[in-house]
């Protein structure tokens, strides 16, 4: 067993914690589950239903917006868009899919995945199974001694709470520099199986999270992908479900989605909650629709209206000192794994590197999805172009009958 033996939930009823794993999945009784879920244990490739020698032409349906934005298609192409969709109420007003990409193709969401995780936490808060005011270590004692145990060297200091993890208000020694091999985010990736392993790397994501240090001071925003995986660990602990199954139970199964979503998993089977989800643009728009509908989806309530109101109202503006966001949105904030612009339209967004956006546009009751493959992961230039497109589409919707 890799990582923290016994710390992981069972993957099927009656199984022992952490079973099956890489060394036991072919053995009875674990094989009864594993043979139907191998993609959750081993890296897998898609055998496409579409002949690879027949590339798809671009699908362009932007007529509703082009009177106000005649250059929209050019701007989508300029920002390496693979999928773009505008959903107002129950109506798809506009869609664009780049050549070779189909409407029913799944696309990696990167850190938009964080907003999905925050929503599951919200559902469990509503059920009374998570108290956001409680220390994280109440739910995951394995994090004792890590930065999530509170300010280091001060046993009397308050412990880091679930709410502070949700709002990313913890000082952590964690570099989110995606192109630096020495950064913690790249070590995180390697632990999750996203990059080739190096000697001394933690065995899996669970173990990686226990290694994080820092002074643990709270109250100021610091974007840190590890926080989301800590939340997923809390979700596993209170539900007894693997994170992927909890995400299905509390969110995806209620959306009336066209397709299953997918999530990458590490060697311990832990879903990469902070960035590993893939879905179609239409299904991601359904998440936004649920938020604008006050937490209700076709399959029932996902989160309370109070939780949605808290997200849409934004978080602490005093805590948001990240100039990369406040430069574009001076009244911006971050709460419950969502970026809140604080602008006059009340736009809130799930954002992922390389150009992923789930953009909530409450003023016109609309959801905008933009899934992209920027050449760079995270620069002021690309974010400026992306935000410009999303804001201009939002304004153009004012004129659409």
Assess contact for 236 and 9: CB atoms under 8 A. yes
- Which residue bears the tokens 């309530």? 301
Q: How many CA atoms lie within 13 A of 69 on its CB side?
A: 23
Active site residue: 111, 191, 333, 372, which one? 111
Question: How far, rounded to the nearest angstrom, does the alpha carbon of residue 160 sit from its chain's CA centroid?
Answer: 21
- The 3-class SS string of the chain reads CCCCCCCCCCCCCCCCCCCCCCCCCCCCCHHHHHCCCHHHCCCCCCCCCCCCCCCCCCEEECCCCCCCCCCHHHHHHHCCEEEEEEEECCEEEEEEECCCCCCCCCEECCCHHHHHHHHHHHHHHHCCCCCCCCEHHHHCHHHCCCHHHCCCCCCCCCCCEHHHHHCCCECCCCCCCCCCCCCHHHHHHHHCCCCCCCCCCCCCHHHHHHCCCCCCCECCCCCCCHHHHHHHHHHHHHHCCCHHHHHHHHCHHHCCCCCCCEECECCCCCECCCCCEEECHHHHHHHHHHHHCCCEECCEECCCHHHHHHHHHCCCCCCCCCHHHHCCCCCCEEECCEEECCCCCCCEEEEECCCEEEEEEHHHCEEEEEEECCCCCCCHHHHHHHHHHHHHHHHHHCCCC
Residue 111 catalytic?
Answer: yes
Catalogue the active-site residues: 111
């Amino acid at each position: 067993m890799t990582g923290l033996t016994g710390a992981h939930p069972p993957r099927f009823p009656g199984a022992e914690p952490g079973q099956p794993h890489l060394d036991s999945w072919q053995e009875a009784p674990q094989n009864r589950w594993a043979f139907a879920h191998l993609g959750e244990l081993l890296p897998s490739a898609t055998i496409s239903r579409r002949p690879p020698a027949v590339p798809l032409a671009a699908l362009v349906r932007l007529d509703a917006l082009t009177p106000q934005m005649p250059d929209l298609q050019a701007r989508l192409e300029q920002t390496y868009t693979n999928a773009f969709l505008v959903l107002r109420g129950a109506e798809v007003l506009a869609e664009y899919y780049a050549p070779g990409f189909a409407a029913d193709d799944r696309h990696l969401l990167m850190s938009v995945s964080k907003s999905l995780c925050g929503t599951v936490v919200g559902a469990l808060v509503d059920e009374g199974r998570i108290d956001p005011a409680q220390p994280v270590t109440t739910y995951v004692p394995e994090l004792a001694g890590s930065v999530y145990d509170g300010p280091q060297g001060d046993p009397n200091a308050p412990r880091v709470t679930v709410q502070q993890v949700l709002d990313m208000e913890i000082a952590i020694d964690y570099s989110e520099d995606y192109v630096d091999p020495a950064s913690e985010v790249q070590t995180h990736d390697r632990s999750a199986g996203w990059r080739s392993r190096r000697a001394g790397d933690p065995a899996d994501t669970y173990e990686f999270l226990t290694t994080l240090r820092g002074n643990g001071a709270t109250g100021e925003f610091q974007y840190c992908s590890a926080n989301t995986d800590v939340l997923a660990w809390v979700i596993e602990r209170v539900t007894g479900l693997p994170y992927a199954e909890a995400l299905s139970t509390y969110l995806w199964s209620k959306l009336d989605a066209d397709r299953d979503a997918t999530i990458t998993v590490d060697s311990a089977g832990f879903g990469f909650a902070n960035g590993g989800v893939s879905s179609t643009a239409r299904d991601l728009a359904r998440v936004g629709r649920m938020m604008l509908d006050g937490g209700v989806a076709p399959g029932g309530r996902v989160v309370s209206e109070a939780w949605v109101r808290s997200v849409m109202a934004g978080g602490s503006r005093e805590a948001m000192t990240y100039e990369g966001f406040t430069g574009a949105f001076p009244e911006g904030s971050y709460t419950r794994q969502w970026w809140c612009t604080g602008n006059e339209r009340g736009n809130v967004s799930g954002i992922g590197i390389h150009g992923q956006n789930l953009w909530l546009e409450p003023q016109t009751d609309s959801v905008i999805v933009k899934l992209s493959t920027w050449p760079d992961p995270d620069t002021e230039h690309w974010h400026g172009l992306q935000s410009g497109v999303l804001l201009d589409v939002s304004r153009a919707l004012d004129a659409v009958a």
